[in-house]
A = this chain, B = another copy of it.
């Protein structure tokens, strides 16, 4: 009855081996905090010969057998990806085991079904480590802010792209050059698609939006644009208007005539250098939250890495272990609000546009007219002449994204417009 709680560890890469190390190093503290010692029952890996540091009798290639073993109480899933992680998680639930996961892709794709399976089995599914590494953000959203109404969650949740954009700003380098540096230093993977094209951030945005708005949101609901088209010119233009370029995961509750909806999107944007998120540089992550009563909050810390991610995994492990000993599962996320997901075209955004135009009478009027025709109101214009050409830098007010992108398309067709040199959305301007 008072024997140790036994944990099955699925996966033993960077995060898994840090989990294993911390479970050993802190066994005394963990036992005191949980009220029972925790012991590793087994470690499922694909290639046991690659894990000489793990005691041989713990290693197994049969993950399914491990999670369904009678003596296993809790499962930690740090394999990542969709399969076999999903099947193993479902098998764990069916055999009455709570799961702690760091799997953003799986949770973002199939969170609703997985939570339903966990609830049916009366067990927990916790995954703080899936978003923003060590930063406690999911528990605060799910619990601390459960008495408030959230209006926005804006995160820098991908360290690789944040490093690349930080370097572009510091050195004036283009995207390709900064990516090459990040790859060389190990900040970007050999295939950087998941980071650079925003898939990683989109999965995290889906998870954040689901919890923030009590509404099921999956990765497919998230409008996604990566940073590969951000140019040195964009970064320079941002600096000229007191801004910096960041890849943002933005989750908003948008009021509409037919009720509220949620808009969830990942794209690069200019934000003022005075915004709390602007100084989050390099591999750090931060999540900025706006709530009706609480006001503005920010959570900041290391977004990746074995040890930081393992810290979040172990925090969840302590929680699910306590729940198991208390005989009650913790509170899962609720989807009761079930708000509609607003298409990107109808989501209000603001644009920054830089144009090279012919410097002759009537051009500014014609350009302004093009914005007006699309129902887009202009916030600021700055015109700089240089010989027979001029540069126009325009920041719009908020308008439906489709109206803004249609305006850009129309500007490109105007004879007086020599070139559209920079287009980026702007966030956080008052």
- A interface with B by C-beta (< 8 Å): 18, 22, 26, 29-30, 32-33, 128, 134-136, 139-140, 143-149, 214, 276, 279, 291-302, 305, 307-308, 310-319, 322, 326-328, 331, 334, 336-337
Contacts and interface: CB of A to CB of B under 8 A. Distances in A.
B149 A26 contact: yes
Contact of A147 (B291, B295, B299, B311): B311
Nearest to A298: B300
A297 B148 contact: no
A148 B314 contact: yes
Interface of A is mostly: mixed
A232 to B, nearest CB: 26
A311 B299 contact: no
A145 B311 contact: yes
B314 A146 contact: yes
Which of the listed residues A140, A149, A322 has the most CB atoms from chain B within 10 Å of its own CB?
Answer: A140
A83 B121 CA distance: 46
Given A140-B136, A276-B300, A33 B311 contact: no
B315 A143 contact: yes
Given A315-B145, A318-B143, A32 B308 contact: no
Contacts of A149: 26, 29
B293 A147 contact: no
A140 B299 CA distance: 11
Contact of A22 (B136, B145, B293): B293
Contacts of A292: 307
A305 B292 CA distance: 13
Given A32-B336, A140-B139, A143-B139, A301 B311 contact: no
8 contacts: A33-B214, A134-B297, A143-B318, A143-B319, A144-B312, A293-B314, A295-B301, A296-B302
A295 B291 contact: no
A146 B301 contact: no
A279 B274 CA distance: 10
Which of the listed residues A32, A33, A313, A317 has the most CB atoms from chain B within 10 Å of its own CB?
Answer: A33
Contact of A291 (B296, B311, B322, B337): B311
Contacts of A307: 292-295
A200 to B, nearest CB: 20
A428 to B, nearest CB: 15
A21 to B, nearest CB: 9
Contact of A328 (B128, B143, B316, B326): B326
A294 B276 contact: no
A319 B302 CA distance: 28
A38 to B, nearest CB: 10
Q: Which 8 A-B pairs give the minimum distances between C-beta atoms? A: A147-B314, A136-B144, A134-B294, A293-B311, A297-B301, A294-B311, A146-B318, A136-B140
